[in-house]
Amino acid sequence: MPRLVSKWLGGIPGLFRNDLTSRSLATVATEVSKVEENRSTVRVSDKILNWSREAIAQGKPHFRVGGTQHYFPKARLVLLRPNAKHTPYQAKFIVPKSFNKLDLRDYLFHVYGLRAMNVTTQLLHGKYTRVNQVMPRYRAPQIKKMTIDMAEPFIWPAEPKDKDPWGATLVEDLSKYREEQTRIGSDKYKPGTAFDGALGPYQPGAQPFVPKFLKRRLLNQKNKTKLRESQLQKRLKVDALVQTMSAGRQ
């Protein structure tokens, strides 16, 4: 059957044949327009880089400014000392958790005139803390940090060696004393280190020996006397109330 179909199609002249030159799908245009050539050579990243350089040279924002205007921003930014891995061209901040990279870049430029070239984000998990050893622990809130790259370097000043004007020793002794006062068990009466051990803790003084049965008897007598005193006070109040009511009737 296929042979008959091929013979029948081949016998019909001009059905699938013509004098036009056939063009295959693999042919490529020899000439390329100038517009397409320019589009292929210039990348989007290069355009953004050129726009940023022009804006910096003109003193304008090197990014797209947000449309919402805030005249009194309530966000609190904390500048941190750099770690060993940071260079003088980097700065680290503690920012609110609602802040993003664009907010920080816009905030620093319009408030402080600082250009943030690159911004990285770090969200630290909340640490477990407790007031003392008896109370249960709880998780502190998360902390969000952002690191920016700057065009100009900034070096922190050296820390002062003498910290007495700020009361650093007093704060340290108070924290030690608070920790020593919350000790429990065998650590309760260990020698203290806060304030050179002047505030204790001290061992309890010697107490007279009292047998258990005698102690129990004395405590019972004490409780009985307290109960009698409370009953007498109630009776005196009732008598005083009766006397006032009788005097009012007369």
**Residue 227: in which H helix or E strand, if any?**
helix 212-249
Q: Which residue has the higher pLDDT, 103 or 31?
A: 103
Q: Determine the average pLDDT of the residues in 59-64.
A: 84
Q: Which residue has the higher pLDDT, 124 or 41?
A: 124
In the chain, the amino acid numbered 101 is K
- Percent of the chain past pLDDT 90, that is, above it, reads 41
What is the spatial distance between Cα 106 and Cα 63, in angstroms, rounded to a whole number?
Answer: 9
The pLDDT, as a whole number, for residue 147 is: 97
Q: Quickly state the pLDDT bin for 108 (edges 50, 70, 90).
A: very high
In the chain, the amino acid numbered 231 is Q
The pLDDT, as a whole number, for residue 27 is: 54
Q: Quickly state the pLDDT bin for 221 (edges 50, 70, 90).
A: very high
The answer to whether 180 and 198 are in contact (CB under 8 A) is no
Residues 6 or more apart whose Cβ sits within 8 Å of residue 120: 146, 147
Q: Across the chain, what does the average pLDDT equal?
A: 83
Angle at 150 between CA 146 and CA 154, to 5 degrees: 100
**Residue for token digits 């640490």?**
127
In the chain, the amino acid numbered 41 is T
pLDDT tens by residue, 7-49: 544 554 554 455 555 555 555 555 555 555 555 577 888 888 8
Q: How many CB atoms lie within 10 A of CB 108?
A: 20
Phi and psi of 139, rounded to 5°? -95, 130
Phi and psi of 92, rounded to 5°? -120, 135
DSSP 8-class letter at 225: H
pLDDT tens by residue, 149-190: 998 999 998 888 888 888 889 999 999 998 888 888 888 889
Over 90: is that where the pLDDT of 142 sits? Answer: yes
Residues 6 or more apart whose Cβ sits within 8 Å of residue 28: none
Over 50: is that where the pLDDT of 133 sits? Answer: yes
The answer to whether 147 and 90 are in contact (CB under 8 A) is yes
Domains of the chain from N-terminus onward: 44-150 (3.30.70.330), 166-197 (no CATH)
